[in-house]
Amino acid sequence: MKTKLLLLLVPFLLGACGSNATQEAAVSTPGILVEDAWVRATTGAKDTTMTAAFLSLTNPGDTEVKLTSATSPIAAVVQLHEMAMQDGKMVMREKPGGITVPAGSHTHLSPGGDHIMLMSLKQPLKPGDEVPLTLKFSDNTTHDLKVPVKAFTEEEEHYHPTPSTK
Amino acid sequence: MTTRRQFFGYAGAAAAGAAATGGAVVALAKDSTTPEPVSRTISPYGEHQVGIARGAPASAELVAFRLATDRAGLGRLMRLWTSDIVALTDGRPAPGDTAPELAVPNKGVTVTVGFGPRVFDLTGQKPRGLDDLPVMKHDRLQTTWSGGDLLLMVGADDAVSVVHAVRRLIADAKPFATPLWRQTGFWDSTGANGEPVTGRNLFGQVDGTGNPAFGTPEFDDTVWSTEDGFRGGTTLVVRRIRLNLDTWDELTRSEQERAVGRKLSTGAPLTGTAEHDELDLEARDADGRLVIARNAHARLSHHSENDGRRIFRKGLNYVHDTGATRESGLIFLSHQADIAGQFLPLLTRLDAVDALNEWTTTIGSAVFALPPGFQPGEWIGQSLLS
């Protein structure tokens, strides 16, 4: 998905940097667009005190923007996480500095990749619920979302790997 | 060029900022020297649900649901479905999609949502005329194909996109609603040279010629409700009509044409030469007989014979196989602002005397209100539920 998006981005940038660059600059910098948000239900999960939120971020502007933090009243702790190789093992860890959305591009938060980790949940989440989620960005914008809870359809380990390898 | 459109399509469909993406539009449009490819991605946003005022899709599935939730739950389902619909019609996977590669752009995906009469017990304010149709004399209704609290109709240029979208929407509806019946159909509205045509049912008849034309005041008056709280919505009648192809095939061509009052070759009225020629309901042949018979389908359903009442109807052909046995038929779809005021009198008249009744049997019947369309940031049914 990332590769495809980078390829798509090239003509877009060429267009933006062409003879109309001056006029382009006069257009006020547009903000981040948030789409396709969902939270994984805890029903059926091994650990029902934590889950993750996934979504797509689009940055139509010409400067990089970072997702710097997220909060939700249903979770005592909310962190921005990444999956990374560490000592030959895939681990999940807090992403330092937040999640970057490059200028004129998309960033997808998805199972197996960057995600918003909701921990110390105050209640179990079942499919069909809706949870409030607030996103804060480096351009000082805030997005208040109402996010649907969807069924747990992949193995838990995809976004929350077991600590030991077989 | 295609790649640019795809990129922009993603950003452009975003819920948040029409103004924000405006800048990107300018940058792209000024640079375009190559011809625009024909996009088959249909924006889900509009005053009306966007699957309605267009021809029947090549491939479609209708799913009726039994609702098992309250008003608040119905609102959550509508918000959930809206976000799925925005993604799937744009060719993106629905959030949490388990088979994301099956979501493909440029497939003409549309999703239409409807509420059955019982849902208005939750919302109040039932649209005028939205009641289950009385059973007609010729009806042989099966519960398998009748009724329902919610309707989904997914259409696309190909069946893979339809099946995938339906699967996601049913999976996400699971906490709220259970499928009651499902009907799959197909329609060919493209002629031999790629030109748009009305399309034919499995009897071979050109089917749907009498419709009001899109974008005319006649169409708007026929289809869209102006009722407070339901303005921009419409109603849909779904009738599953079994066609007896075997006995139909025993007729001569002229007997088949007399039953409808139109020529099989072009769909022209028996009194005309081109499909859209007006019917001459008074014309008589050399023997003094009416050219378009008293019981011909085209006469009986003509607005001039029905106090000016009109409907906008579409068809989807269907086949239903049980082992080696095939049933063939038509999923008849009729849009009108008011079912009791427009459709029911017409149906009653056709049931009484339509020549086609000999070869057709309605085996399923359901009625739905289709709420108005939605804009970015809004959700389907919002005006009825919030």
pLDDT tens digit sequence for B19-34: 333 333 333 444 445 6
Write out the residues of chain B at the interface with chain A, using a CB-CB cutoff of 8 A: 3-4, 6-8, 10-11, 13-17, 19-24, 26-28, 30-31, 69, 73, 76-77, 79-80, 83, 86-87, 92-96, 98, 171-172, 174-176
Instruction: Output the CA torsion sign for B308, B311, B317, B322.
Output: negative
d(CA B68, CA A8): 43
In A, minimum Cα distance to B171 occurs at A151
Number of domains present in the structure of chain B: 1
Chain B residues in contact with A8 (beta carbon < 8 A): 3-4, 6-7
- Asked whether residue B274 is domain-assigned, the answer is yes
Helices B18-29, A2-16: axis angle to 10 degrees equals 70
Min CA distance, A87 vs chain B (Å)?
A: 30
β-strand B150-156 against B177-186: which pairing, if any?
unpaired
Indicate if the pLDDT at residue A60 is higher than 50.
yes
Flag if A8 and B11 touch (Cβ within 8 Å).
no
Indicate if the pLDDT at residue A49 is higher than 90.
yes
Q: Which of B211, B198, B188 lies closest to B298 in space, CA to CA? A: B211
CB B194 within 8 A of CB B186: no
- Asked whether residue B160 is domain-assigned, the answer is yes
Give me the residue from A20, A31, A148 closest to B80, CB to CB.
A148
Residues B35-76: tens digit of each pLDDT: 666 789 999 999 999 999 999 999 999 999 999 999 999 999
Q: What is the mean pLDDT of residues A136-151?
A: 96
Q: Which of A88-102, A113-127, B70-84, B228-242 has the lowest mean pLDDT?
A: A88-102
Percent share of chain B, pLDDT over 70: 90
- Mapping DSSP to helix (H, G, I), strand (E, B) and coil, where does residue A79 land? strand
**Residue B334 backbone zone (phi > 0: left; psi -120 to 50: alpha; other: beta):** beta
**Residue ranges making up the domain that contains B344:** 40-385
| CATH code of the domain covering residue B75 | 3.30.70.3420
d(CA B173, CA B163): 15
- Asked whether residue B1 is domain-assigned, the answer is no
Q: What is the greatest pairwise CA distance in chain A?
A: 58
A22/B187: higher pLDDT: B187
Give me the residue from A23, A38, A143 closest to B96, CB to CB.
A38
Flag if A36 and B73 touch (Cβ within 8 Å).
no
pLDDT, residue B38, reads 72
Q: Which of A152, A153, A146, A151 lies closest to A127 in space, CA to CA? A: A151
Chain A interface, mutation test: which of B1, B7, B379, most A Cβ atoms within 10 Å? B7
Give me the residue from A30, A150, A151 closest to B23, CB to CB.
A30
Q: What is the mean pLDDT of residues A115-137?
A: 96
Chain B residues in contact with A38 (beta carbon < 8 A): 95-96
Indicate if the pLDDT at residue A51 is higher than 70.
yes
- Asked whether residue B89 is domain-assigned, the answer is yes
Q: Which of B207, B249, B280, B321 is catalytic?
A: B207
Indicate if the pLDDT at residue A129 is higher than 70.
yes
- Asked whether residue B23 is domain-assigned, the answer is no
Residues A81-102: tens digit of each pLDDT: 998 888 888 888 899 899 999 9
In A, minimum Cα distance to B28 occurs at A15
d(CA B32, CA A11): 11
pLDDT, residue B204, reads 97
Is residue A97 less than 8 Å (CB to CB) from chain B? Answer: no
pLDDT, residue A86, reads 85
- Buried residues in B182-209 as b, exposed as e (16+ CB within 10 A): ebbbbbebeeeeeeebbbbbbbebbbbb
In B, minimum Cα distance to A108 occurs at B95
Chain B interface, mutation test: which of A1, A13, A33, A56, most B Cβ atoms within 10 Å? A33
Q: Which of B8-22, B207-221, B230-244, B362-376 has the lowest mean pLDDT?
A: B8-22
For B375, phi then psi, to 5°, come to -110, 165
CATH superfamily of A29-155: PCu(A)C copper chaperone (2.60.40.1890)
Based on the residue annotation, tell me whether B207 is a catalytic residue of this protein. yes
Q: What's the mean per-residue pLDDT of chain B? A: 91
pLDDT, residue B33, reads 58
Indicate if the pLDDT at residue B320 is higher than 60.
yes
Is residue A130 less than 8 Å (CB to CB) from chain B? Answer: yes
- Mapping DSSP to helix (H, G, I), strand (E, B) and coil, where does residue B140 land? coil
DSSP string, B7-31: HHHHHHT-SS-HHHHHHHHHHHHTT
d(CA B100, CA B96): 9
A30: Cβ–Cβ under 8 A, 6 or more apart, which residues?
A60, A61, B17, B19, B20, B21, B22, B23, B24
In B, minimum Cα distance to A25 occurs at B23
d(CA A106, CA A5): 7
Residues B295-308: tens digit of each pLDDT: 999 999 999 999 99
pTM recorded for the entire structure: 0.86
> In angstroms, how far is the first alpha carbon of chain B from the final one?
41
Q: What's the mean per-residue pLDDT of chain A? A: 80
Tokens 């899109």: give the residue.
B214
Query: CA torsion B220→B223→B224→B230, rounded to 10°?
Result: 170
Is residue A153 less than 8 Å (CB to CB) from chain B? Answer: yes
- Asked whether residue B16 is domain-assigned, the answer is no
**B253: pLDDT confidence band, cut at 50, 70 and 90?**
very high
DSSP string, B269-338: BTT-SSTTPPP-TT-B-TTS-BSS-TT-HHHHT-GGGTTT---EEEEEEEEEEETTEEEEEEEEEEEES-
Q: Which of A73, A75, A63, A34 lies closest to A138 in space, CA to CA? A: A63
Residues B85-115: tens digit of each pLDDT: 999 999 999 999 989 999 999 999 999 999 9
Chain A residues in contact with B3 (beta carbon < 8 A): 7-8, 11
